[in-house]
Amino acid sequence: MAFNHYAKIKRLLQYEPDGWYIQRFDKPTRAKNFKGEIVEYDHYYRIYSANGDVIKYCKFQKIDKLASILGVAVEDLPIIESS
């Protein structure tokens, strides 16, 4: 079975108290896809706990994929833009 980073994020968020949020950063990043290829993106997202601490392993690029795994609409995710 292939590793699914977004499923891991879902498992981690199950143990987070309410108030976690997602911040978008418009900075280039790279990620390895399931084929082992390196894909470049012009942005990334990071999830923070309610107290503002980074949640380990919660850096990702595809907000629609996260929303799908969590079973919510993208519009319902607590996203803030970086300044």
Structural contact between residues 32 and 47, judged by C-beta atoms closer than 8 angstroms: no
Distance CA 57, CA 73 (A): 22
pLDDT at position 8 is 95
Phi, psi of 29 (to 5 degrees): -150, 165
Q: Torsion angle, CA of 57/58/62/68, rounded to 10 degrees?
A: 110
Distance CA 67, CA 74 (A): 5
pLDDT confidence band for 82 (50 / 70 / 90): confident
Phi, psi of 53 (to 5 degrees): -80, 140
Using one digit for the tens of pLDDT, what is the confidence trace for 15-53?
999 999 999 999 999 988 878 899 999 999 999 999 999
Q: Where are the alpha helices (DSSP H) in the chain?
A: 5-14, 63-70
